[in-house]
Amino acid sequence: MGMSNADRGAPLWKEKRDTWVSVCDDCHSPRFARENLQAMDEACKDAGLKYTETFKIAENLQLDGLGEPMPKDLHPDWAGEHVCSLKIGAYHDGPGYGGAQGQSGEFRMSNCSDIERVCFESVGYWQTYIFKGMAHGSWNDATYCDGSFGMDRWLVKAKAASEQARRFSALEKKAGINWVPSEFWRKGDWMNELSGAKIVKEFPG
């Protein structure tokens, strides 16, 4: 559910859905429980569509070589590699992502491009608030406070970041500017504490 846009209301999940309804019927009618679970299904599918769109915007920047910065310009990830943090196994294979076939990247929470962080927060925080809010009847968490409206804002942020990166790239190309990412993407006291540097040092190549 969510990133794979699975449908919890599909026949595959009927047995689990019936179990949930039986849990709720201590206090509520089966119809009430099913209606609320159906509302959660719709909210989750809607959130999944928003995240997919946010992800695609960031993914297209990566594949066009316009990430600011690109994975190759960053301190290595926890495995000592430079794989796109948005790469999800076999679903995103190819040289544009880095890494081996079928290998997944690791979500970065600090040393990454702004749009990658937006993707992480969208699925890791806002989408989680939607799921939990709908499951616990906390409509404010699922909408105004932390959930759906947060995903809306982050989708707009991703679109704006993409437009800016593409606009700057066009201007730099026209002016003959060759942008080189700063050293703080690759070095720093905090990054020296991460496993990536240790892996590279102990297992070079």
| Percentage with pLDDT > 90 across the chain | 33
Instruction: Please report which confidence band the pLDDT of residue 2 belongs to, taking 50, 70 and 90 as the band edges.
Output: very low
Residue 5 has pLDDT above 80, yes or no: no
In a domain, 45, yes or no: yes
In a domain, 1, yes or no: no
Residue 105 and residue 85 in contact, taking contact as beta carbons nearer than 8 Å: yes
Q: Tokens at residue 6, please?
A: 């699975």
Which one-letter DSSP state was computed for residue 75? Answer: P
Continuous H helices in the chain = 14-24, 30-63, 114-121, 127-135, 139-142, 148-175, 189-192, 195-202
- For the segment 74-89, the average pLDDT, to the nearest whole number, is 85
In a domain, 4, yes or no: no
Residue 48 and residue 41 in contact, taking contact as beta carbons nearer than 8 Å: no
In a domain, 2, yes or no: no
Residue 177 has pLDDT above 80, yes or no: yes
Output the pLDDT for position 73. Answer: 92
Instruction: Please report which confidence band the pLDDT of residue 59 belongs to, taking 50, 70 and 90 as the band edges.
Output: very high
How many distinct structural domains can be found in the chain? 1
Residue ranges making up the domain that contains 111: 11-202
pTM across the whole model: 0.84
In a domain, 5, yes or no: no
Instruction: Please report which confidence band the pLDDT of residue 8 belongs to, taking 50, 70 and 90 as the band edges.
Output: low
In a domain, 6, yes or no: no
Residue 1 has pLDDT above 80, yes or no: no
In a domain, 97, yes or no: yes
For 123, residues 6+ apart whose C-beta sits below 8 A from its C-beta are 2, 3, 51, 55
